[in-house]
Amino acid sequence: MDKSNLNKIYEELGLSDKVIAYCSEIEDKLSQRFISIDKVAEFNQLKILKAMQDNRLSDVHFAATTGYGYNDMGRDTLERVYADVFRAEDALVRPQLISGTHALTVALAGNLRPHDEIISPVGKPYDTLEGVIGIKPRKGSLAEYGISYRQVELLPDGSFDWDGIRAAINDNTRLATIQRSKGYASRPTLSVEKIGELIRFIKSIKPDVICMVDNCYGEFVDAIEPTEVGADLCVGSLIKNPGGGLAPIGGYIVGKAEYVENAAYRLTAPGLGKEVGASLGVLPSLYQGLFLSPQVVAAALKGAIYAANIYESLGFDVLPNGAEERHDIIQAVTLNSAEAVIAFCKGIQAAAPVDSHVTPEPWDMPGYDCDVIMAAGAFVQGSSIELSADAPIRPPFTVFFQGGLTWHHAKFGIMMSLQKLFENGIIKL
């Protein structure tokens, strides 16, 4: 296609010549990096395909069930597919798991008992988990059931505090929760290899500690998953990476059969567990979303790397930086002011296929301790594998960008975020 025609439609969508030219120059330098991402996507695509073939997936597995959901072949087969993809003993994959936080809550509550203790060896968990654990007092928290918590901060360079972890593990330590992604923290995302190293260390001190990984935003970024390096449980959301943008709701818990079963008893009821839970007609989307997810994750990764390189070149602090290896789809950009964060998010919203006419504003979201702004014009409400950005309105005013069902949409979203900063005089090109 003639480049002038492409630039013309960009201009019709609201981009200036200066933004188009600036971003084009950055993109030209990333071609080799993108080839490497496509290789990982190819491997994960074939891994998922093999799991579906090995489990003899058929159109009969797409049928809906209602009521109790007994003998739901499609649901049970989907869980076997997930177990195979994650190289795990068992899986719980349900639309009744409404979010990543809910899936983590079910996994924790199902496997902990009064007087047990949770340890987080990677610092504070994501904001919404604070109320679940009881770091912030909330009705129904694990703390109300006599489950205690302690955390060990990462060292200033982002490495594990081995001595601190050793000292924190005690007779009551039952479960280690390891958050792969950074959340709203400024620490690096953990690679699967580093997670494996951490798990081996914890097990060497107390072998019966359950090691649970919050895998949100990390699925299919690498060729291996945490369950392949010793994680007893791995937990995530279907409206993030593994849902491929098609899953309308859901979460997953994969890992050792005993611990998955315990989680299932908490999700439904003791004695019922995985035997019940109707699929309600969503199975085709869950299967097809999983099948497409390696390509969608690759698109989101390209968008994250593109964003890092653009904003880094303008002098902003970015995490990861433009050259680092990636272990999740999230790109953090420190913009230094609330005005800049809001302009960035307005750009992402303006680039959306849904609600592009809506202006995002900071608000007091449940589960957070400050106002948060979220831009997400998505086909599935709140789906952060789709083009989205969010930020707590607090210093150092860092925005967290992720998603993009296609590379070209992720690219346009970043260009539009830059356009809004340019229009507001926050940057010069």
Q: How far apart are CA 364 and CA 370, in angstroms?
A: 6
Q: Which has the closest alpha carbon to 414: 319, 344, 343?
A: 344
The tally of CA atoms less than 13 A away on the side-chain side of residue 373 is 27
DSSP per-residue codes, 96-127: T--SHHHHHHHHHHHH--TT-EEEEBTBS--H
Which pLDDT score, from 0 to 100, does residue 184 have?
76
Which pLDDT score, from 0 to 100, does residue 416 have?
98
Q: How far apart are CA 329 and CA 259, in angstroms?
A: 28
Q: How far apart are CA 85 and CA 294, in angstroms?
A: 12
Which pLDDT score, from 0 to 100, does residue 127 have?
86
Split the chain (429 residues) into runs of 10 and give each run's mean pLDDT: 85 96 96 97 98 98 97 97 98 97 98 98 93 95 98 95 98 98 86 98 98 98 98 98 98 98 98 97 98 98 98 97 96 96 97 96 83 94 94 94 97 98 95
Which value, in Å, is the radius of gyration of the alpha carbons in the chain?
21
What residues pair up with 177 in beta bridges, in sequence order?
212
Neighbours of 292 (CB within 10 A): 17
The tally of CA atoms less than 13 A away on the side-chain side of residue 21 is 4
DSSP per-residue codes, 45-66: HHHHHHHHHHTT--GGGG----
DSSP per-residue codes, 380-429: STT-TTSSEEEEESSTT-EEEEE--SSHHHHHHHHHHHHHHHHHTTS---
* β pairing state of 210-214 and 173-179: parallel
Q: How far apart are CA 38 and CA 36, in angstroms?
A: 5
Contact 399, 391 (CB under 8 A): yes
What residues pair up with 179 in beta bridges, in sequence order?
214
Q: Which has the closest alpha carbon to 80: 105, 57, 107, 103?
A: 57
Look up the CATH architecture of domain 63-290. Answer: 3-Layer(aba) Sandwich (3.40)
Taken in order 294, 299, 303, 305, the sign of the CA dihedral is positive
What residue segments make up the domains of the chain, in order of their start?
3-43+293-423, 63-290
> The tokens of 244 are what?
């491929």
For 256, residues 6+ apart whose C-beta sits below 8 A from its C-beta are 88, 89, 90, 232, 233
Q: Which has the closest alpha carbon to 199: 219, 244, 169?
A: 169
- Spacing of C-alpha 263 from chain mean position: 20
Which pLDDT score, from 0 to 100, does residue 363 have?
87
Which pLDDT score, from 0 to 100, does residue 1 have?
64
* β pairing state of 173-179 and 117-120: parallel
> The tokens of 330 are what?
């999230």
CATH code: domain 3-43+293-423 is 3.90.1150.60
Query: What's this model's pTM, rounded to 2 decimal places?
Result: 0.95
